[in-house]
Structure 1
């Protein structure tokens, strides 16, 4: 009798003895595993310490002795081809992963809390196998023999609402960055065979949960000045932006304004829903990891934060930065903490800033007392990084 999929639960094989039934688990966030099976013994202690320091989720080994002395803060994953008939210390592992889906129910594994299956996808038949397994067991470890990510997309789609977790083998840290984003939410976990302790830190940085919300503040306009010609930039992204989505930009580290994307109708040109008419080239723009860059430093491929008026955040990539000479407008406002903030934009009606509730404000129609949205960090900046020190910006 085959297993029968019922919504997001699995009815186990009749008489199989081991119940693999599960309830849905949260897919929020990603995690990293380290494959230490082929790691040089001299390097193993440094990698393990790095894994503990950077809060890596799990270590994958084929010898339970590797788990000796590990604290319960890290998951111990035992990867075996098939369950051993003789006594084997499976109880030293938190998760046992086998190569055959039938072995996931083997009584020889004992009472290990979790079980999974490793599927090597190399053709249509093994891809079908992966799509079935991912809906049957709590954990599916995936290894793809071809560089295309299309098979992974298919397996991720098959896993939707199944309650299981997918972990994908990656070739290096760069591959991990790509796998994390396949079909937007990517594989739940990434398995990397580290070459050094530095690889552990880089993997941890990739899977670390990035903030998806930030607190925006109301900035009250004090003064608007026409200041003549200068260089301003349009930032074109590789994403389509929402009508209340902007980038955070400003002249000072004490505060940045929420600029509006060109998603709203213009009388003489089509909308460009991938663009911000950002501001003067000296301006700070907020990117991931709370780091700023000058507009003049931005290049194709760089990450930048897109922020909506409700404070929700996502990372987008820059496709092009276009710098041109234009008349400029200086807008000065007061933040809730009393500090003065400034932004310099192109002096034209079609350039807009966002206000409370997602209101769209043409910069040439602003007046003292108007309210705009912005971000007011508590730290100053040094080479784009937040630092607690005295800093007077004017």
Structure 2
């Protein structure tokens, strides 16, 4: 398997929309175009992989492969030996439809031995794909898994935290290529973190704070970005680190007062008070690597609060209001876990400085004063 997340668009059913679908696919830099007719590749640039797919087996393959880079057929190397001999400059891969234990074993063999294995799982469960991914661990080839839509594609990309190397999805209308590319990039990203210097802490009395309980297990150097202002946030650590009076809650971030901003997908912000079961927030580690995670619930309760003021190297001010208790923590440089009530002027914490103001959570370039 590889680290790539490939997007293959199947245009076999695009019909009259084929030209428009292909134009969008090139704009989105789709990695592979899948067809049954080599003529479909006539005007495609060399940067896109041209894939002929024949689910019926080698007998369906035409004598003239045109500009095809890769031919995927049902059956193994023995069945396509004559094809490979006739077309030494073309790569070949194996198509497997998984419907039972025997075809699952065929899929595992293809994933381990073939340079390209295109897998079509006819049942909605993702357990068979998990088995194939595990079986192919360390193999040099690539697994391309079919997906009915972009919701399924996003799941396929993330199975076992490794995911399929690529997704093959039918493209029948304009918008499909864009949606597939979005699904491929939804699970990973990066934000710029800066070191903030604490300038003051103030006990401000009672208020409502939100614990964000997610459906994922945070790593020890992960949390979510939270701040009183949309242009300055602090990296609040999850409860993965031991505490003397209570068990760890590796799914939870004690995030701050309910008015606070946090970052969700595509750079949008939400107030903590807006989050609910099924919402998405962005998990961020100390290197700035991100991944979207789902919210399982939000617990809003009345607690004493502490206000933390900090400043960025640029001079920009940042504020965060947290529950006033030493077990509520933030992250500092080098993955340092810092108790919020023990912070003092001069201490360094990690934060993020979004560049745009916000309107209903969306970034927008306009005048906005927050203080």
Is the pair's TM-score, using the shorter chain for normalization, greater than 0.5? yes
State the Cα RMSD in Å.
2.1
SS at match of 1:106: helix
Equivalent residue number for residue 331 of structure 1: 308
1:186 matched residue in structure 2: 163
Taking a change above 3 Å as real, the CA distance of residues 250 and 179 of structure 1, as seen in their structure-2 partners, is same
Question: 1:134-183 CA distances to partner (integer Å, 9 max, x unpaired)?
Answer: 22221011111222212111111222111111111112222112211111
1:106 aligns with 2:82: yes
Report the more deviating stretch, 54-63 or 82-91. 82-91
Does residue 42 (structure 1) correspond to residue 16 (structure 2)? The answer is yes
In 2, Cα distance between the equivalents of 1:95 and 1:179?
Answer: 22
Shift of 1:45: 1.5
CA distance in 2, matches of 1:192, 1:243: 36
- Is 1:199 equivalent to 2:176 in the alignment? yes
Match of residue 229 from structure 1? 206
- CA apart distance, 1:370: 1.8
1:368 shift after superposition:
1.8
Alpha-carbon shift at residue 387 of structure 1 (Å): 3.4
Q: Say yes or no: does 1:97 pair with 2:72.
A: yes
In structure 1, distance between residues paired with 2:301 and 2:189:
33
Selected match of 2:123 from 146, 153, 159: 146
1:291 paired residue number:
268
Q: Is the 8 A contact 2:226 2:236 kept in 1?
A: yes
Partner Cα distance (2:163, 2:171) in 1: 21
State the partner residue of 2:196: 219
CA shift in 2, pair 1:162/1:243, >3 Å: closer
Q: How does 1:159-308 map to 2 (within 5 A)?
A: 159-208=136-185, 211-308=188-285
Any unmatched runs of 5+ in structure 1?
Answer: 1-24
Whether 1:346 aligns to 2:323 is yes
- C-alpha distance in structure 2 between counterparts of 1:242 and 1:362, whole Å: 18
Task: Encode CA deviations 1:92-120: one digit per residue, 9 max, x unaligned.
Answer: 20111111212343246513431111111
Q: Which residue of 2 aligns with 1:5?
A: none
Matched, 1:66 2:43: no
Give the C-alpha shift of residue 213 in structure 1.
4.2
Q: 1:88 aligns with which of 36, 47, 63?
A: 63
Question: Offset at 1:389?
Answer: 3.7
- Conserved 8 A contact 1:332-1:343: yes
Would you say 1:120 and 2:97 are equivalent positions?
Answer: yes
CA displacement at 1:206 relative to structure 2: 0.5
SS, match of residue 250 in structure 2? strand
